[in-house]
């Protein structure tokens, strides 16, 4: 395995450990109350960002870059990440994502909202309806009852589990779908029908784990999330 692959695996393992540790800490609690509201807000936002990262790991697995040269381990890791994120089917989302790359910005693209490609809310609702189905709803309901049965307090469940999950879905949609693929006054640079956000690397990491460098990703889907800033700096993509 190439040295760079171990870097990606290390990033992924660290993210999973931090995500699980923070979630367990907040659900189990560390005292009688939730803590100060600034602290609660900071933990919610951090958990939201880690949820985004969890999905990005699964996304890299779809392209075979999470555990390169080991397809079985790569797909297994992707399934785990998507299951932890929201109980999604890895097989179904991977097939949809490949259609997105092949037919980006057309009516055949499952991520695109052809009836209104300029407005945020109609596109968001259509996006959520397409991906969040009965299977995911039942899975999350069962998981919620399971956590409550184990003794997790309802306020903690709503604040530290449900709220970050919802916010992360909106964050992923905003920076990974709507902004890169929306129609506006600027023409798309090529047949990929997507554009990148010109954020500096730190802001790009905070917003969506560099997924805002979306044109680079569509041109080079074999490059994992952590390699997109270098690819953008090199400026050699077609």
The DSSP code sequence of 120-179 is HHHHHHHHHHHHS-HHHHHHHHHHHHHHHHTT--HHHHIIIIIHHHHHHHHHHHIIIIIH
pTM of the predicted structure, to 2 decimals? 0.92
Say what the pLDDT of residue 236 is: 56
Q: Where are the domains of the chain?
A: 3-182+189-232
- Of 237, 210, 218, 199, nearest to 53 (Cα)? 210
Say what the pLDDT of residue 139 is: 86
More confident residue, 179 or 7: 179
Q: What is the mean pLDDT of residues 168-173?
A: 96
| Per-residue pLDDT band at 237 (split at 50, 70, 90) | low
Say what the pLDDT of residue 2 is: 62
pLDDT at 53 over 90: yes
């Amino acid at each position: 395995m190439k040295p760079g692959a171990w870097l990606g695996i290390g990033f992924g393992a660290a993210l999973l450990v931090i995500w699980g540790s923070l979630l367990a800490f907040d659900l189990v609690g560390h005292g009688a109350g939730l803590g100060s509201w600034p602290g609660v807000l900071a933990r919610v936002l951090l958990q939201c960002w880690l949820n985004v990262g969890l999905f990005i790991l699964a996304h890299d697995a779809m392209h075979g870059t999470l555990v390169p040269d080991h397809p079985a381990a790569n797909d297994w890791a992707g399934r785990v990440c998507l299951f932890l994120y929201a109980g999604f089917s890895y097989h179904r989302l991977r097939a949809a994502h490949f259609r997105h790359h092949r037919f980006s910005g057309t009516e055949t693209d499952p991520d695109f909202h052809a009836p209104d490609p300029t407005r945020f809310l109609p596109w968001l609702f259509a996006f959520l309806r397409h991906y969040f189905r009965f299977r995911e709803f039942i899975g999350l309901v069962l998981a919620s009852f399971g956590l409550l049965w184990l003794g997790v307090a309802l306020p903690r469940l709503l604040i530290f589990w449900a709220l970050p999950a919802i916010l992360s879905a909106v964050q992923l949609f905003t920076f990974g779908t709507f902004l890169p693929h929306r129609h506006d006054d600027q023409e798309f640079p090529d047949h990929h029908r997507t554009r990148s956000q010109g954020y500096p690397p730190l802001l790009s990491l905070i917003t969506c784990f560099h997924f805002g460098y979306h044109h680079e990703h569509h041109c080079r889907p074999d490059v994992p999330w952590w390699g997109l800033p270098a690819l953008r700096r090199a400026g050699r993509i077609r």
